[in-house]
Amino acid sequence: MKSRFLALFSIAGALSAQILSAQVTFERLLHPEKEPQNWLTYSGSYDSQRHTALREITPANVKNLELQWVFQQRSLEKFEATPLVVDGIMYTTQAPSDVVALDATTGRIFWTWAANVSANSRTCCGKVNRGVAILGDMVYVGTIDGRLVALDAKTGKPVWKVEVAKAEAGYSLMHAPLIVKDKVIMGVAGGEYGIRGFIAAYDAKTGKEAWKFYTIPEPGGKNGNTWAGDSWKHGGASIWVTGSYDPELNLTYWGVGNPGPDWNGDKRAGDNLYSDSVVALNPDTGELKWYYQFTPHDDFDFDSVQVPVLANMDWQGQQRKVMLWGNRNGFFYVLDRTTGQYLLGKPFAKVTWATGLDERGRPMRQANMEPTPEGTLIYPGNLGATNWYSPSYSPETGLFYLSVWDNYYSVYGKTEGEYVEGRLFMGGAPRNVVPLLMQPAPTLARKEEEGYGALRAIDPKTGERKWEFKMTDVTDAGILTTATGLVFSGGRDGNFYALDAKTGALLWKIYLGGPVASGPMSFAVNGRQFIAVNAGTSMYVFAVKQ
């Protein structure tokens, strides 16, 4: 008996060193280029380029991709998560907020954590989740009912949980948390419920709140005068897509959602900062370093929750740290991410709400293009010229790849309404003249002039389009680029495809039967490269046929 006991003890002792080496340290998160087989953060790297350095899958062999396994989410919700892969283990979420650990080569489940979310949770547009973060031996998830939970990565057992915000008041957590150093950064969704948005950081070991940055300042504070009266209290400015991080500048960048009520700005006169902005925060303190507002006093629901894509490039003869941003409002922007300075802006789709951007990047509003009680037809439509779909930047081609809805419009109506806690607070409802389909169906009835989806390659130095891949239906798909010159994406029509990154030529496609509403990602196990993407309610994983 004793020998058995001692044997087990010595195994446990010897093992602790190995466990330590397998931990996902912050150092590892900083250097994903050293382990391209893994996908350690929501966008694959802190610069959010959603670009893989793996080279097994090439333009020559992409036609030989075959399905390896499928994971069926136990939910009929949209499957918007991007999985993480760490040393052969995949972590993903299934709507509304469950976490699943899988064998990345077979899809077999190691453990599932059921979030058992409160019936009090409420969202405008689906009880979805976009993924987890990992640090040390813990996996972090935000739940639709407002909790941030740390799970043991080996067992799925909760280690701590904190209430970030109240579900009853319309707050929810949807985006994959962002780890910076020893903190977990999380923002709140709920921009259609009159929340007051914020981003907060929590100690990764204990869950203790470290700082909180309100995306709407108080009346006496800096920029507090950009909200009339008490409108700041329920002004929205939510956070629902993961931000980025520049370790050299020690700044974390987050896109902020729309002001509320969405389509009636009468009672919130002013620019409504920091709605529809990118904010650059010190991740240690939450202090605001700079901001840039894309759509001042928005009355179109033009959330700026896009993923901030960071790149370093030659800019008019000078090496510059830039940020590339295809905004829901229809303009493509390049900003200097050290200072927030506006460098370039151009429409990438049909826009009628503004005539252009002035020299400082502020939109010049088109007269009479605003929501009215009877409704006004405006481009782009309510869901935007793009939205939360992850773009990609390829350092090899120097191009920015963006999912676009072009020729797309809505009739923006406007109504009155008072704030009631936990109720929708939107001030109107835009109407789509031609219905948008949520699933592939045999009635794709739109003409090209009534809106279509496209994947566009944009030269960030000029804002000019290099090529496009047009789709009949619109697209909610994120984009992955590879070091071998491929672009992976899909569309609401249920197709998933690979294009030539230089030309946009179609190299491979497969029909997956459900809308692609997530960003594809890539990983490798034992030297074999895989591509994972969600379509409908399932995740599909491909590799080159052996």
Partner 1 sequence: MEHMFAKRFFLPLLAAGALLAQHGYTQADVEAGGRLYRTNCSSCHGPNGDLQPGVDLGHGKFRRANSDEEVASIIMKGIPGTGMPPGNFPESQALTIVAYLRSMAASANVTVTAGDPARGKEIFEGKGQCLNCHRVRASGSRVGPDLTDIGTLRRPADLQRSLVDPDAEVLAQNRYYRVLTKDGQTVTGRLLNEDTFSVQMLDTKENLRSFKIADLREHAFMAKSPMPSYKDRLTAAEMSDVIGYLTSLKGF
Q: Which amino acids are annotated catalytic? A: 301
User: Whole-angstrom Cα distance, residue 224 to residue 405?
Assistant: 34
Q: How far is the CB of 7 from partner 1 (least distance, A)?
A: 9
Nearer to partner 1, 22 or 420 (CB): 22
- SS3 at position 28: helix
CB-facing half-sphere around the CA of 275: CA atoms within 13 A: 38
User: Whole-angstrom Cα distance, residue 180 to residue 338?
Assistant: 18
Under rule CB under 8 A, residue 546 binds partner 1: no
Under rule CB under 8 A, residue 526 binds partner 1: no
Give CA separation, 40 vs 46, 96, 127, 219, 520, in Å: 10, 22, 24, 39, 14
Position among 62, 84, 89, 135 found at the interface with partner 1 (CB under 8 A): 89
For the beta sheet containing 376-378, the strands, ordered from the edge strand earlier in sequence to the opposite edge, are: 376-378, 410-412, 430-431
Nearer to partner 1, 106 or 472 (CB): 106
Q: Closest Cα to residue 51, out of 388, 480, 479?
A: 480
Under rule CB under 8 A, residue 114 binds partner 1: no
Under rule CB under 8 A, residue 1 binds partner 1: yes
Nearer to partner 1, 498 or 532 (CB): 532
DSSP result, 281-321: E-TTT--EEEEEESSTT-SS-----PPPEEEEEEETTEEEE
* Interface pattern 246-275 for partner 1 (x via CB under 8 A): ------------------------------
Q: Closest Cα to residue 293, out of 256, 261, 262?
A: 256
Q: How far is the CB of 188 from partner 1 (least distance, A)?
A: 24
Q: How far is the CB of 312 from partner 1 (least distance, A)?
A: 37
Position among 77, 103, 203, 209 found at the interface with partner 1 (CB under 8 A): 103
Under rule CB under 8 A, residue 20 binds partner 1: no
Under rule CB under 8 A, residue 109 binds partner 1: yes
Burial 311-340 (b: 16+ CB within 10 A, else e): bebebeeeebbbbbbbbbbbbbbbbbbbeb
Under rule CB under 8 A, residue 28 binds partner 1: no
User: Whole-angstrom Cα distance, residue 321 to residue 529?
Assistant: 31
User: Whole-angstrom Cα distance, residue 111 to residue 113?
Assistant: 7
Asked whether the beta carbons of 160 and 150 are under 8 A apart, the reply is yes
Q: How far is the CB of 441 from partner 1 (least distance, A)?
A: 34
CB count in 10 Å sphere of residue 360 = 9
Residue range at the interface with partner 1 (CB under 8 A); choices 73-81, 155-163, 278-286, 364-372? 155-163
Q: What angle do CA 65, 66, 69 make, to 5 degrees?
A: 130
Nearer to partner 1, 149 or 479 (CB): 149
Position among 55, 157, 208, 212 found at the interface with partner 1 (CB under 8 A): 157
Nearer to partner 1, 64 or 106 (CB): 106
* Interface pattern 187-216 for partner 1 (x via CB under 8 A): ------------------------------
Asked whether the beta carbons of 24 and 136 are under 8 A apart, the reply is yes
Residue range at the interface with partner 1 (CB under 8 A); choices 1-9, 214-222, 242-250, 333-341? 1-9
Q: How far is CA 453 from the centre of its chain?
A: 18
Nearer to partner 1, 7 or 506 (CB): 7
Position among 155, 285, 415, 472 found at the interface with partner 1 (CB under 8 A): 155
Nearer to partner 1, 15 or 438 (CB): 15
Who's near 527: CB < 8 A, 6+ residues apart?
56
Under rule CB under 8 A, residue 8 binds partner 1: yes
Under rule CB under 8 A, residue 111 binds partner 1: yes
Under rule CB under 8 A, residue 9 binds partner 1: yes
Beta pairing partners, 480: 488
Q: How far is the CB of 80 from partner 1 (least distance, A)?
A: 25
User: Whole-angstrom Cα distance, residue 91 to residue 491?
Assistant: 24
- Computed on alpha carbons and rounded to an integer, the radius of gyration of the chain in Å comes to 22
Nearer to partner 1, 12 or 444 (CB): 12
Position among 5, 220, 442, 447 found at the interface with partner 1 (CB under 8 A): 5
Residue that is written with structure tokens 């009628």 in the block? 352
Under rule CB under 8 A, residue 101 binds partner 1: yes
The size of the interface with partner 1 (CB under 8 A), counted in residues, is 30
> Six-digit token pair at 34?
């050293």
User: Whole-angstrom Cα distance, residue 382 to residue 430?
Assistant: 6
Asked whether the beta carbons of 89 and 83 are under 8 A apart, the reply is no
Under rule CB under 8 A, residue 182 binds partner 1: no
Under rule CB under 8 A, residue 23 binds partner 1: no
Nearer to partner 1, 5 or 364 (CB): 5
Binding to partner 1, residues 270-309 (CB under 8 A): none
Q: How far is the CB of 162 from partner 1 (least distance, A)?
A: 12
Asked whether the beta carbons of 338 and 249 are under 8 A apart, the reply is yes
Position among 105, 244, 394, 534 found at the interface with partner 1 (CB under 8 A): 105
Q: Closest Cα to residue 134, out of 63, 29, 221, 234?
A: 29
Residue range at the interface with partner 1 (CB under 8 A); choices 8-16, 317-325, 462-470, 478-486? 8-16
Q: How far is the CB of 174 from partner 1 (least distance, A)?
A: 25
Under rule CB under 8 A, residue 160 binds partner 1: yes
Residue range at the interface with partner 1 (CB under 8 A); choices 12-20, 410-418, 477-485, 512-520? 12-20
* Contact residues for partner 1, defined by CB under 8 A: 1-2, 4-5, 8-9, 11-13, 15, 18-19, 22, 88-89, 101, 103, 105-106, 108-111, 152, 154-155, 157-160
